[in-house]
Chains A and B, each alone.
Chain A
Amino acid sequence: MHSILLIAKREYVERVRSKVFRITTILVPLGLLVMIGAIALISKKATGLNDIVIASNSPALAATMQDQLKNGEHPPASIQVIAPATEADRARLTAEISANKVDGVLWLTLTPGAAQPTATYYTRSSSDVLAEARLESALGRAAVREQLVQKGMAANEARDLVKPIDISMLQVKHGVAVKTDATRSYFGIYALVMVLYVSVLFYGTDVARSVTEEKGTRIIEVLLSSAPADSLMMGKLLGVGAAALTQVAIWVFLTIAVSGSGLAAQIGMHGLSSLGINATELVFFLIFFLLGFFFYSALSAALGSTANSSQEVQQFAFIIVAPLVIAVFMMSYVITNPTAPLSVVMSLIPPFTPIIMYLRICSQMPPVWQLALSIALMLASIWIMVWLAARIYRIGILMYGKRPNIPEILRWLRYS
């Protein structure tokens, strides 16, 4: 036990003190925040309704339309009204659009006697479906308001009458109606899964790399003459795991701190919920991160012990990468179909569990028995993996020269 702790401590200190650790600890969350911020900004700007002009022969209609847009969802920053407008204005405004002075011009013509106005929207972008939908919805309501006012209804009554009505969605689960999260944002989840994937991969292969290095410098022999191979391997897994956990914990903490700060509010985020993350999901994130780490790093220690150089480590890295990549590819499927048979089955297969089960938890909390089963299977397979890895490791670290093939490795399993 003493030597396991000493070795774990050494591995931990070496990693936490390294430059790579410091740099990635700061850069990764920064990068993620920039990415999330960028996505948020882009989706906000995507409608192109930022700086628009409403030109009409009817000042009343133009004013109602302006009010409708201003009080709707995502109001444009600036709405100019030109009414009554002339053909000269049309030419001038068209020039302003091409000069980038305004984003678009909505031209409304109300023909006396006609039930509805005709509308034309001038813009630089070739097709802006979102803008069109929003303008159409606002204009429909504005036209109805105008008609109602003309028919004698009070202006504020008419305005309240055309307000959109929110429909709250309830899903019936196990006979009980619960709120669905159909409309929540998944940026945060995507980001967390990417962090899970990258850190498990990085720290997992780091174990292989450092085993190979110890083998190459023969330090492993010095260590073996003071501690048994199993202790060396366990010490390494615990030390690297603790370093990985430290880094991920710093990231989680930074995310909580930054998302609650004024900076985040400026790009439209307020607290964790705006990232689409809640505290339960963060706890499960840490649990599945650790499970994933120990599963893959034990595998990696075994593989690392059979290699002679870091180039050889590269050659088998795909064994570790492949299941993780498959899981990441299934990300959007699992989020949208969390209870589909494929999602359920995949979430119970240990190499995929960390990512797939985590996605299911974020999308729709799976039944407790499935959650418990996946964790139990994961723990059992970690136990088996560590046991197998220790046997391969014990022999692999003393073998030099040609890399062993699969039958040779199987023979090692028998005679250790």
Chain B
Amino acid sequence: MPPVVALDRISKSYDTKVAVRELSFAIEPGSMFGLLGPNGAGKTSSIRMMVGITMPDTGQVNLFGRAFTRDSLKRVGYLPEERGLYKKMKVMDQLLFLGQLHGFSAATASQRAKSWCDRLDILSSADKKTEELSKGMQQKIQFIATLLHDPELIIMDEPFSGLDPVNATLLQDTLIDMKKQGKAVLFSTHRMDQVEKMCDSICLVNNGEAVLAGTMREVKSRYERNRVLLHYEGSDAFLRYEGIAKAKSYPGSVEIELKHGASAQELLHLAAANAAIYKFELVEPSLEEIFIQTVGGRVDA
């Protein structure tokens, strides 16, 4: 099966600013893909080229194994960063309009919209105007608008921003359901914890270029397990171990970063000699740390 999205060295410039430079990645069906990067890194510009809002200056966007055509967009659902809804329009009219725009008949669009509203528990608001609803409700409606035409590729720009935990979980679960049904899901976010939990692969962009890409496992395996979390009682003499690069001490616990090649087991022995050990964990670097380490001080947001 060909990848759902395959970007082949796409570039896009606006006036003098290069928004995206030679970006390539692929998304497989039935997988979840995280597009990460600081503000202004080129995430939205890349997404816009995938959904035909803009055309790349060079390079090629392939959708469903073929070069981009507007026709393939019928199989794509796109949720922009802000609430892309008509404020004065009733929720159901809005969903009908967007469903029809994607090629459904009014009857099918209406039936699908109803079942989705039921699923996300907003059927009672279907006759209200969008502007009368809370931000979370509007976000749900936008979710439905994106998924209404049963797209095989779902692209969401910052889908969870501004949501309360209950709704965020509901929408996260919905996306995971979609993935299980074999759909490809791409979303962009700053929230590394979400990416870590949900994504199969990621691409980290900075200044329009991919600086880190691959499956979650690949990405993490490139970074050493060199961090130790230790809960103890007694002497902290083990902190003088020469393999320690950095240590942050808290009452009863300490976070340690080991030097390259230092042995965690040796540290454990040292510590156990003078103190009671309650917890000893060798932690892999979090995506957040990888992000900060890779993008470094260049993050402006």
Contacts and interface: CB of A to CB of B under 8 A. Distances in A.
A226 B102 contact: yes
A222 B145 contact: yes
Contacts of B281: none
A interface majority secondary structure: helix
B70 A221 contact: no
Interface residues of B, number: 30
Contact of B54 (A7, A214, A222, A398): A398
Given A213-B87, A224-B53, A226-B98, 8 more contacts: A3-B101, A218-B80, A219-B86, A220-B84, A224-B52, A225-B51, A225-B53, A227-B101
A228 interface: yes
Contacts of B88: 14, 18
Contacts of A280: none
Given A6-B101, A225-B51, A225-B53, A411 B84 contact: no
Contacts of B87: 213, 217
Given A6-B100, A222-B80, A225-B78, A217 B86 contact: yes
Interface residues of A, number: 24
B126 interface: no
Interface string B90-128: 000000011011110000000000000000000000000
A275 to B, nearest CB: 37
Interface of B: 15, 48, 51-54, 70, 73-74, 76, 78-89, 97-98, 100-103, 145-146
A221 B48 contact: yes
Interface of A: 2-3, 6-7, 10, 14, 18, 213-214, 217-228, 398, 408, 411
Identify the 3 closest CB pairs spanning chains A and B, nearest first.
A221-B80, A225-B51, A218-B80
B33 to A, nearest CB: 18
A408 B15 CA distance: 9
Max count, chain B CB within 10 A of own CB: residue among A10, A217, A221, A225? A225
B97 A10 contact: yes
Nearest to B83: A217
Given A398-B53, A398-B54, A222 B78 contact: yes
B82 A218 contact: yes
Contacts of A219: 84-86
Contacts of A225: 51-53, 73, 76, 78
A98 B277 CA distance: 114
B168 to A, nearest CB: 20
